[in-house]
Structure 1
Amino acid sequence: MPHHLSSFRPRLLAAAIALAALPLHASAEHYQLPAAPLSSTLNRIASDAGIALSIDPALTAGKTAQPVQGDYAPEAALNAALQGSGLQLLRSGAGTYSLAALPTDAMALPATNIDAKGDSESAWGPVTGYLAKRTAAGTKTDTALVEAPRSISVATREQMEDRGVQSLDDAVRYMPGVTASSYGSDARADWLRVRGFEPTQFLDGLPLPDGAFVNPKIETWNLERVALLRGPASSVYGQTPPGGMLDMVSRRPQAESSNEVQLQYGSDNHRQINFASTGKVDEQGQFLYGLSGVVRDSDTAIDHIEDKRYNIAPSLTWVADEDTKLTFISQFTRDDTGVTSQFLPLQGTKLPSPVGDISHHKNLGDPDSDYYDRTYYALGYAFEHRLNDTWQFRQNLRYTKSDLEFQTAYPFGTVAANGDVGRFVDFVNEDISQFAVDNNFQADFQTGALTHTLLLGLDHQRINNNYNWQFGFAPPINVLNPVYGQSFSPSFVLQDFDQKSRRTGLYVQDQIALDNWRLTLGGREDWVHTGTEFYDENDASNTERDKAFSGNAALSYVFDNGVVPYLSYAESFQAITGADALSNTSFKPTEGKQWELGTKYQPQNLDLMFTAAVYDLRQQNVSVSEVIGGVPITSQSGEVKVRGLELEATGNVTDNLKLIATFTRTLSEEMDGQFEGSRLQRTPDKQATLWADYTWNSGLLDGFGIGLGSRYTGDIYDDRGNTETGHVGSYTLYDAAVHYDLGRVSSELAGASLAVNATNLFDKDYLSACNSTWCYYGDERKVVASATYQW
């Protein structure tokens, strides 16, 4: 490690701790506030509402706030406190606030009591339209998205509904820097790459377990939003890759009663019921409930493979008092499906075959014996409590369990003149359990002219992974006329281990505001203990003890016109679950670092945001998959480098038009070893997307809307050597949607709506990936019609 970096990283932590030790100036609460020092009252209202407020102490010195009592929107509460102070509240185009003296001839108007609770957005709550204005991704605090000095995209609930999202692959398709469905749509998993790396998935502030095949496939219907943070985030979240992370937020109970039922029918006999309900349990609203879920019974594009899912997600919120809230969040999912991505031979897909092309729908496994049965459940809570005028405490806790039984036969080798091809078979039994808890204290205070949001946290994970992978050979199958029901059994055990991992992290972060300047400093120390017992190696054992410091620093300036340029540095550290299949050795943690220069622009009086970023990131100890001796093996290599440019425009252009537009340029390279100079696997050099949804609100087409989208993906390599057989070309796909609000026709139909969504509208024939052994077809056209009733 270069000397200047090794000395720079601990200084980040030392600086943040030093700032935390400065004297705290109290802020306060809302909305039963007595007369008090003006700066104290303003800080408390701003802190509780998640508003960035910059206060010049010289303006508020010696002034007293008016009492604030009743139901106010946050901005109205601030104005009420300012009555008679001779000061006015100013809002920048970036959504931040400051104070200024009233003109000498200005007349102080009486306060107006306004109930506008729905006008304030939370980083963990619902969003109206496509543009989320607040996020906790990357900071764990409720931060204005335009001021977060990182590349972050958010798919809101409304955006996901407009596009008919069915999976995480679908949810992130229109975000920059991400490759979705790398192997085509897979009913078992989401195959994502962000800036060249597989992202860690976080749900409600806690990481999801990461095993081999058993990983949960999150149900997007249960999500309020999906945020994609691009770049390292270990200084707050701990073990994450340098490419980025998904920060998902579950639907949570709401005080306002709402119910929804949706029926779907579509391609491949897709049949699905979605439901959601929330509201008060008691009249006082001390207890709130939430319930959502999915029942799916569908075929797939592959012959004889079904996609069945049974999911339910209950939640309950207890509002103990105005300072304390506890939300229980649970979920159960049962999946019964198979390998829809298939493993098709090169001959008949990318290369010529003696018997012609292999059908997109052909099942070359054995439906009489193949299965993929996964049961996933999680139970946890989100607790928050305000201790006093300055400090608040949050604790997120969850226990997760996922069990899998998996068997599949798949082709291997060349296609013979008569169409026969050999086959392998995998038998997998895997279960993974995880206990995760994250505790943090947040303090909002001032030191002189500086406004601080200080975060002190401690998190811990305990992960147990039992993994048995048996490998064998199945009888050959004919790619034109497959015969099923043949017998086969495993030949030998490829991997059989029990791995226990204990991960603990201590972190500190300070978000500092000085007038229009914003400075973020953070640091974290991680301790990881991983013990693995290899049953297939005469019970040999291996123990890895690792610790690492991860830091981050960012500086930005919030211009009054809504432009926010920033420069950030961040590091990553990731302990890898699993083991090297060629030895009895656990994987080493990966480490990464990134510099990013970007700007965000949120125009005044427009519900839009534009972002641009360039970055340079590096990672060491990279995990890669390749075929050695006919067996797929995961191992670790040296250093890789990724540089890129990302552009994004998102928002609600008018009351009728919603828009997403992105462009990505990515340059990736292996820095050493056998494949030095090669591009990273499944990382296109260029991508671009555009989605627009237009809805008529008057006239003959009142209530009718149409959505159109286009997705361009550049060429990729799926083998480390970047050979011709591992190369697939670029492609452009088109999506579309039409929807109609039946309530515009008659008041008796209020709450009823119809929609039809199509992906790959023109049924483009393309390959999503190929390596030296297998190829994978991209998704064919899929059309789903839905009928929704809300009340």
Structure 2
Amino acid sequence: MATIIPAAANAQTESSQTETAILETTRQDDGAIIVSAPRFVPQGALTASKTNTPLIETPQSVSVVSRDQIDLLNFIDVQQAVRYTSGIVGENYGPDLRFDFLTLRGFIPVQYIDGLQAPVSSTISNVGVDLYGFEAVDILKGPSSVLYGTTPPGGIYNLTSRRPSDRTSGEFQVKYGTDDFKQAAGTFTGALAEGLTARVTGLYRDRDSQTDYVNARRAYVAPAVSAELGPDTRLTLLGYYQWDRVEGDTNGFLPAVGVLVDNPVGKVKRSINLGEPDYNFYQRRQWGMGYEFTHNFSSALKFTQNLRWGEYHEYQQIIYGASLGADNRTVTRNNFPFQDDTLQFTVDSRFDLNFATGPVEHHVLAGFDYRNYREASAFAFSSGGTIDLFDPVYSPGIYSAPSTLFASTDQRLKQKGAYVQDQARIGDFILTLSGRQDWIKIDNYAANAAIPVDKQDKFTWRAGATYVTQAGIAPYVSYATSFQPVVGQTLGGDAFKPTSGKQWEAGVKYDARSLGDNIKLFATAAVYRIEQSNVLTVDPANVLFQVQTGEVVSKGVELELVTRINQQLSINASYTYSDAKITQSNNPAELGARLAAQPKHKASIFVDYTHTSGIGAGAGVRYLSDSNGVVALPGSFITAGGVSLPSTFTSPSTTLFDATLHYDIPGWRFAVNGSNIFDKRYAGRCTGEVSCFFGQSRQIIGTVTKMF
């Protein structure tokens, strides 16, 4: 006999119903200043299970960077926000002013916004939407297709928008810092009427770059309105619009001889610009509009629907370095204008049911999602002349963009997915079983499309077990699968199958529930092994074609700790060991090679303390071991400009230091944050002879925040 049990019996407040986390400063009767950051230590994430299941009960590694953490450490973008998080590496191409380049367990994660995939392109897995507009960054590690469909085996990350609250509050802040960094931003929320709340978040940024003659501007606005349509029904409208323009260049495309190794001619300036400042520019506009609708049929049955229409449009014209001459100073350049437009409609509908069968309590999730995605891109390619690496002379007015671009991609993807998940609890033991069927149709409209219509259906599943002790220690084990479509065909004309991923993971979580209310702590330890199959590799019968006999294995260990003690001491610490390699390939130059942009070791710790007087300070250190820029035969070398280079373009290990000073009084916060404070010169990544990118130089930013 089944018994319906209230959903609130073991529920956690969902992000859609919480107030946005804002640092609050209060003065006690004895004069002591208390800076409250109630959500600095995460307890849950809807991304992990699409339910209100606490993180400690989720049989998978999940990291959450909360708004409280973002504010205390003054992170500007997602690349910075993961600096002290295990398993994930950011800033892979240095301080890119457009995108967040990330690597998660050896793979490039796909971006989600409010649980729905962002309208990413076929070449970039994120849309660069500004971090200020969001409450948290949820990083779901490992295969996640059972809930999200087409995803890489390393995992995904989700941004949760700031939501309206019936409590009138907000903030306005200004920033100024290195490279003429200027920013004004604010968020305000409150009740408009009984049962009707609203929030508006906005930002304007104008900054230069560590690269000469580069300026970037951004405008962002995100309105949100939430209406109680009844005692059990809520509708939250969410929207955002962002405009970007980068003048002069992006960051990089410098010779490896001068970035990875010394140049015999001299030292290459970190700020050198090898493009054409008066010609190069990047422009983007994007927007999304949708809603979250919830209805409680009873205390045990809930319906949720998330929907969004999104558009993304970018255009760039760039002259960049392509090869280095034998004199080690003459750089030959290419001219590469590029345009990309994506449109996407996506909706996710699900029922959340709690019931019991005898001693077993069930939390069942059943849903259906749909995504209709269209992308068209075009480019042109021509010579960009030459330039001197050490004494660049620019040629304003000589170069012009071609009048015609050639179509690169033109495709539509339609994805339908049905999924079900059961979290069965017997006492302190929780068994999680999930399954999903996806139906995918890809229409290729390009004139040279090998397969006009491609169908790639797939079933994925996940199983996990967790035991939560009364002391807050929770060992777990899980197995999960994933898949991603592959466009193209074999020599025989057969369509490629989706790549498949599978992962074993085991670990333990600890939430320190027995240590008292003044200690908030969440710690995790995990070991994992991921196998990706159906990976493309060269066809032995014809090197111009590919077959799907390749395989990648990624395995590692992740340790992470986030704690806040007595609302004064905050600690973010992590360690990652990652061994991600190609284990099967028909190309000897790939077999056994490490995956690109994934260091074997990443270690970090940041400690911040605030005195009762309101004065606080923090310091952090980050270590990254060496990492490949590309996949190639280990130990092989090439010659560039007469200098021998490893063909993997390996960036050496680096250690970076960060610091902060801040002063709080009721209603105000003054802070100065510094990253790479000793101005370490290092290579973020190199992907070719003249495709190197310096890491972020020293950055000092001051912030004044008025809180309401």
Superposition TM-score, scaled by structure 1 size: 0.80
CA distance in 2, matches of 1:313, 1:634: 44
Question: 1:583-629 CA deviation, whole Å, 9 max, x = no partner?
Answer: 9998753210000010111221231122111011011244799xxxx
SS in 1 for 2:381: strand
1:777 counterpart (678, 694, 699): 694
Assess if the C-alpha contact under 8 Å between 1:652 and 1:659 holds in 2.
Answer: yes
2:112 counterpart (202, 214, 220): 202
Q: What residue is the counterpart of 1:12 in the other structure?
A: none
Assess if the C-alpha contact under 8 Å between 1:393 and 1:440 holds in 2.
Answer: yes
Q: What residue is the counterpart of 2:553 in the other structure?
A: 641
Matched, 1:739 2:654: no
For residues 449-468 of structure 1, the aligned pairs below 5 Å read 449-468=359-378
Assess if the C-alpha contact under 8 Å between 2:145 and 2:460 holds in 1.
Answer: yes
Q: What residue is the counterpart of 1:729 in the other structure?
A: 652
Question: Deviation at 1:413?
Answer: 1.2
For residues 443-592 of structure 1, the aligned pairs below 5 Å read 443-484=353-394, 485=396, 486-487=398-399, 496-535=408-447, 537=448, 542-575=452-485, 589-592=498-501
Assess if the C-alpha contact under 8 Å between 1:473 and 1:488 holds in 2.
Answer: no
Question: Deviation at 1:390?
Answer: 2.7
The aligned amino acid for 2:529 is D
1:341 counterpart (232, 241, 251): 251
RCO higher in 1 or 2 (8 Å CA, sep ≥ 6)? 2
For residues 617-632 of structure 1, the aligned pairs below 5 Å read 617-622=530-535
Question: Deviation at 1:415?
Answer: 3.5
CA distance in 2, matches of 1:492, 1:639: 40
Question: 1:395-436 CA deviation, whole Å, 9 max, x = no partner?
Answer: 000000011111111111124438321001211111001000
2:141 counterpart (230, 234, 241): 230
Cα pair distance change 1:759/1:667, threshold 3 Å: same
Q: What residue is the counterpart of 1:13 in the other structure?
A: none
CA distance in 2, matches of 1:223, 1:634: 41
Question: Deviation at 1:668?
Answer: 1.5
The structure whose Rg is larger is 1
CA distance in 1, matches of 2:332, 2:421: 56
Gaps of 5+ in 2: 22-37, 539-544, 637-645
CA distance in 1, matches of 2:674, 2:521: 26
Tell me whether 318-327 or 490-499 shows the greater mean CA deviation. Answer: 490-499
CA distance in 2, matches of 1:777, 1:478: 18
Q: Which has the higher strand share?
A: 2
Assess if the C-alpha contact under 8 Å between 1:123 and 1:143 holds in 2.
Answer: no
Matched, 1:26 2:4: yes
> Percent sequence identity over matched residues?
34
SS in 1 for 2:337: strand
1:753 counterpart (640, 659, 669): 669
Question: Deviation at 1:579?
Answer: 6.7
Question: Deviation at 1:635?
Answer: 11
Q: What residue is the counterpart of 2:349 in the other structure?
A: 439
CA distance in 2, matches of 1:609, 1:669: 31
Q: What residue is the counterpart of 2:30 in the other structure?
A: none
CA distance in 2, matches of 1:582, 1:189: 36
CA distance in 2, matches of 1:465, 1:751: 46
SS in 1 for 2:210: coil
Assess if the C-alpha contact under 8 Å between 1:124 and 1:249 holds in 2.
Answer: no
CA distance in 2, matches of 1:624, 1:711: 35
Question: Deviation at 1:129?
Answer: 3.9
For residues 305-324 of structure 1, the aligned pairs below 5 Å read 305-324=214-233
Cα pair distance change 1:288/1:583, threshold 3 Å: farther
Q: What residue is the counterpart of 1:612 in the other structure?
A: 525
Question: 1:33-62 CA deviation, whole Å, 9 max, x = no partner?
Answer: xxxxxxxxxx35426xx15xxxxxxxxxxx
Question: Deviation at 1:213?
Answer: 5.7
Cα pair distance change 1:44/1:554, threshold 3 Å: closer
Q: What residue is the counterpart of 1:272 in the other structure?
A: 183
Gaps of 5+ in 1: 1-22, 28-42, 52-119, 626-632, 744-749
Assess if the C-alpha contact under 8 Å between 1:258 and 1:279 holds in 2.
Answer: yes
Question: 1:328-385 CA deviation, whole Å, 9 max, x = no partner?
Answer: 0000000001543321112222234353222111111111111110000000000000
Question: Deviation at 1:762?
Answer: 0.6
Question: Deviation at 1:496?
Answer: 2.4
For residues 43-62 of structure 1, the aligned pairs below 5 Å read 43-46=6-9, 50=11
Matched, 1:680 2:643: no
SS in 1 for 2:474: strand
CA distance in 2, matches of 1:716, 1:532: 36
Assess if the C-alpha contact under 8 Å between 1:607 and 1:653 holds in 2.
Answer: yes
Assess if the C-alpha contact under 8 Å between 2:451 and 2:489 holds in 1.
Answer: no
SS in 1 for 2:234: strand
Assess if the C-alpha contact under 8 Å between 1:287 and 1:317 holds in 2.
Answer: yes
Question: Deviation at 1:671?
Answer: 1.1
Q: What residue is the counterpart of 1:148 in the other structure?
A: 58
Question: Deviation at 1:492?
Answer: 9.6
Question: 1:104-139 CA deviation, whole Å, 9 max, x = no partner?
Answer: xxxxxxxxxxxxxxxx66576345242111221221
The aligned amino acid for 1:609 is F
The aligned amino acid for 2:257 is Q
The aligned amino acid for 2:178 is S
Q: Which has the higher helix share?
A: 1
Assess if the C-alpha contact under 8 Å between 2:178 and 2:699 holds in 1.
Answer: yes
Q: What residue is the counterpart of 2:541 in the other structure?
A: none
SS in 1 for 2:137: strand
Assess if the C-alpha contact under 8 Å between 1:567 and 1:596 holds in 2.
Answer: yes
CA distance in 2, matches of 1:209, 1:410: 27
Q: What residue is the counterpart of 2:576 in the other structure?
A: 664
Q: What residue is the counterpart of 1:768 in the other structure?
A: 684
The aligned amino acid for 1:720 is V
Q: What residue is the counterpart of 1:104 in the other structure?
A: none
Cα pair distance change 1:666/1:239, threshold 3 Å: same
Cα pair distance change 1:233/1:373, threshold 3 Å: same
Question: Deviation at 1:653?
Answer: 2.7
CA distance in 2, matches of 1:204, 1:635: 36
SS in 2 for 1:644: strand
Assess if the C-alpha contact under 8 Å between 2:343 and 2:375 holds in 1.
Answer: yes
Tell me the matched-pair count: 661
Cα pair distance change 1:763/1:418, threshold 3 Å: closer
SS in 1 for 2:174: strand
CA distance in 2, matches of 1:439, 1:790: 37
Q: What residue is the counterpart of 1:788 in the other structure?
A: 705
CA distance in 1, matches of 2:293, 2:382: 49
The aligned amino acid for 1:781 is R
Assess if the C-alpha contact under 8 Å between 2:596 and 2:631 holds in 1.
Answer: yes
For residues 407-418 of structure 1, the aligned pairs below 5 Å read 407-417=317-327
CA distance in 2, matches of 1:557, 1:367: 59
The aligned amino acid for 2:510 is Y
SS in 1 for 2:530: strand
Cα pair distance change 1:582/1:714, threshold 3 Å: farther
Question: Deviation at 1:667?
Answer: 1.1
Q: What residue is the counterpart of 1:370 in the other structure?
A: 280
Assess if the C-alpha contact under 8 Å between 1:232 and 1:592 holds in 2.
Answer: yes
Question: Deviation at 1:266?
Answer: 0.5
CA distance in 2, matches of 1:703, 1:530: 57
Q: What residue is the counterpart of 2:159 in the other structure?
A: 248
CA distance in 2, matches of 1:580, 1:355: 47
Question: Deviation at 1:542?
Answer: 2.5
CA distance in 2, matches of 1:308, 1:583: 49
Assess if the C-alpha contact under 8 Å between 1:532 and 1:586 holds in 2.
Answer: no
CA distance in 1, matches of 2:549, 2:93: 23
